[in-house]
Structure 1
């Protein structure tokens, strides 16, 4: 299982490459695809700006814009031959585009960018660059210009800022959009444990790419005996610290250690604080955390700034007792940090 954004782009590439191999690149008979991006939502809307859907003319599609109602209308209009422009914006909800009679929850509005891609080398290369970004390489800023001279371009980006920004012409009308694309959110779990497995299950449902690094033979044997039941989780049979040091983290990575084994947890923390991960946390009581901080400074050589990056005790203070409750507290804290919310604002 992949993050939905990555699934959408991979599907788009697959369809275009298949069309190119059957008819030739840019051949008139090659099948185009349409990439839809949520630009803005007003009121209640089930998808946030930047969400993607890709579709073919006959109705095959991957991804989501609203959870059903908008997709049905868009696909029906696509089948009738609409959306021939290289890029255009449509609007759903009250006062929607072309009188589309779609009502979103609580009177919400939804603006969608619709781009037409063909099997040309430039279009496929653009999508492959997006795939590379989602897989953890340099964040990108997409420029999509509307109108008769519609065009698209990519440039490197810091990854900071709004995911969607509107570009206006001299009259204040939308002339195009800047769309930020960054790596898929990754949860890196240092070692197997009941809490780690519960965390992995939560993270998959939240759309994270989930990787577990586990070098201990006894834990791997238990995992194998249960036929590795966690769908959508990658298991790497190596020290988490080694994977982290080899480049296993990017700015959209949360590194979490939940084993109570210092050989796993401490080494992972020592490497993780030197990486750009947005969240680094380790499980343990307040007393255990204080002892770990002293140990990381003494034996690991970490300074105060590096130690302060580590969330310990990990997670929100929900009074959690069971593995599932602890996992809920951990993932809630990770989502809080990722969304830029302060604890006092909860």
Structure 2
């Protein structure tokens, strides 16, 4: 799936290391949204890459900030390896720019050249986006020059976190990089369809695995395909076992059919999925746990990975309400928030 993050990094590599083997003399600038205060069009972690001639890929705000940044770039600003700029009310850049509702935008601006280290760093970012292993990117601002490192990561938590030095001042940032979040739905159901719609709007890659002919016939008769959703006509357990999960995957079973739900859970707990959940009441969930231990051979630790009953306890009744509770819980886990902090 070619999402915008990957497009930005691929463009950066193409500019610094073209396929014809030449090494350009001009640097590029990689901009990362660090934080937003008030209303802002883009979330932390968003990227933009630019050249001094004004060519760019990605976005920071939807227009106004990009125009100011590119104008300053053309005037010869941003010559340091890394610096933080601030837009909006009280910001020190673009005093005439007003973000929506008085919002404030902090942006990390990094200068990359065609040196081997910089190109290798960008290629490692591309590998993380294309692969199945999330990485933690550390950018230190207090060194000379500023340093960049990549470490292994769980992929869970805030995309951007501030690092502080001994004096309490900001010394750098850690930035999470990884494959696009995937929602794997085991089987079709009204709740699954509602979850798929929510997940697409949240930026997830959505895959539904459904092997039951009678369910697929109804789906086809209704001509129900959702934009941005991939339907695979196979057992979800088979897709999972074949490598359909990575660390940014949430596996969700919402059919009430043990042939679908239980087999999916048995395979999912062997994978690095960050969320595994199955729908059912407390009584149904207890019976399923006993069944998975008895027939599926799952250990207590493996069963503990499965969220059942699934989702936040919102008192949901309708398929859309249940889907909201499920997706809210998935977002909570992905952002590294404990239930008690809600």
Higher mean displacement: 210-219 or 183-192: 210-219
1:254-293 maps to which residues of 2 (within 5 A)? 254-293=250-289
> Where does residue 111 of structure 1 map in the other structure?
106
State the secondary structure of the residue aligned to 1:97.
coil
CA pair 230-15 structure 1, distance change in 2 beyond 3 A: farther
> Where does residue 317 of structure 1 map in the other structure?
313
TM-score, normalised by the number of residues in structure 2: 0.81
State the secondary structure of the residue aligned to 2:106.
strand
Higher mean displacement: 309-318 or 219-228: 219-228
Q: Which runs of 5+ in 1 are unaligned?
A: none
* Contact 1:89-1:111 at 8 Å conserved across structures: yes
1:5-154 maps to which residues of 2 (within 5 A)? 6-14=3-11, 16-17=13-14, 21=18, 24-28=21-25, 33-42=28-37, 45-57=40-52, 61-98=56-93, 100-104=95-99, 107-117=102-112, 122-146=117-141, 149-154=145-150
Deviation at 1:158, TM superposition (A): 5.1
Deviation at 1:210, TM superposition (A): 1.7
Give the Cα separation in 1 of the matches to 2:16 and 2:271.
41
> Where does residue 186 of structure 2 map in the other structure?
190
* Contact 1:136-1:184 at 8 Å conserved across structures: no
Deviations 1:14-66 (A, max 9, x none): 464278548753233x7x54321122344555544323223455655444434
Deviation at 1:104, TM superposition (A): 3.9
Deviation at 1:257, TM superposition (A): 0.5
* Contact 1:50-1:164 at 8 Å conserved across structures: no
Deviations 1:162-221 (A, max 9, x none): 6333365x8876564443323432211112223212211111111122222223344445
TM-score, normalised by the number of residues in structure 1: 0.80
Deviations 1:124-157 (A, max 9, x none): 4433321322344333232435577345343334
